[in-house]
Structure 1
């Protein structure tokens, strides 16, 4: 059996051995706009793409560089090819973490072009955790037991049709890469 998947744009893609030429922002935006956060356990549909958009907007609101904002937009892009797995499970799937790291590195390499510094990685992690914390307060009325900075931006946690989220994701990507 082949290790390839067929993407939205009909690209035959091997997530175990990613070829940067086969990584397309359209595939990422489409897939993430249809994937739910928290494995669908929120009380309404909220996509991974919406989360990534809000992370990007938060990075910009904090005054982080366009490079960090783009990395925030793309920080879950590997999930477009692998799936979103909850943090408690993901941290126990060592092979998965290796596969995810190789794929995420290929995505960053293609679209950012240079490695992220330790400081930039810390900024991305801080933004991601802050959004996660706020998402659980909004959608589950629960405060996670974790450290998270207060959001500077004001995400509009509401249902948005996937095609609008997909379009916004691509528009934001184009603004950051132009």
Structure 2
């Protein structure tokens, strides 16, 4: 039986990820894809289920080619700390510290430059505006910060978790190229379901 320490998260593959010492922990891309595909955006307050994995793929497809891999993993930390709605996240400074620590460790693991390029943040806002248009009941009037980010022209068609996981893994496989400082990742025996 697995022994849990206070700050460890059990991953899909059965590993333990230490949130206080993330740089010493290991996580597979399959753990990330599985978790993100089961996390619903907007804390579940959307018209239908829509995953962080699908969101990540859309952001990845919305940036220039040299940033697509980084954009795909821009929310990878949420596989371990959850997708906390921004208004709540802003009230939890300790959570923000842990999230940044986990994010930094994951980015180092996959060879992603930290902090992320500004273009990824812009694409993230565009996709968010698109999600609000397509997946919520109405755009909040007080979200003036998004008015400068034109939604994508295409409508979002939400995928179920298995479809989102497969799409995320396909995108990862097509974009991943080992970088000098990143350890070899492998596919962990993953096959499409």
Query: What TM-score, normalized to structure 1?
Result: 0.86
User: Which sections of structure 1, spanning at least 5 residues, go unmatched?
Assistant: none
Per the alignment, residue 150 of structure 1 pairs with 150
CA distance in 2, matches of 1:88, 1:152: 24
**SS of corresponding position for 1:22:** coil
Per the alignment, residue 161 of structure 2 pairs with 162
**SS of corresponding position for 1:136:** helix
**SS of corresponding position for 1:10:** coil
Equivalent in 13, 19, 26 of residue 15 of structure 1: 19
Per the alignment, residue 134 of structure 1 pairs with 130
How far has the Cα of 1:101 moved from its partner?
0.7
Per the alignment, residue 44 of structure 1 pairs with 48
Q: Deviations over 1:25-76 (max 9, x none)?
A: 10000000000000111010001111101000111xxxx242x211211111
What number of residue pairs does the alignment pair up?
169
Q: CA-atom RMSD, angstroms?
A: 1.9
CA distance in 2, matches of 1:159, 1:138: 10
1:142 to 1:13, Cα distance in 2 relative to 1, 3 A:
same
Indicate the structure with greater helix content: 1
1:104 to 1:90, Cα distance in 2 relative to 1, 3 A:
same
**SS of corresponding position for 2:139:** coil
How far has the Cα of 1:82 moved from its partner?
0.6
Cα contact 2:126–2:152 (8 A) shared by 1: no
Query: What TM-score, normalized to structure 2?
Result: 0.80
CA distance in 1, matches of 2:127, 2:175: 20
How far has the Cα of 1:113 moved from its partner?
4.7
Cα contact 1:20–1:107 (8 A) shared by 2: no
User: Which sections of structure 2, spanning at least 5 residues, go unmatched?
Assistant: 178-193
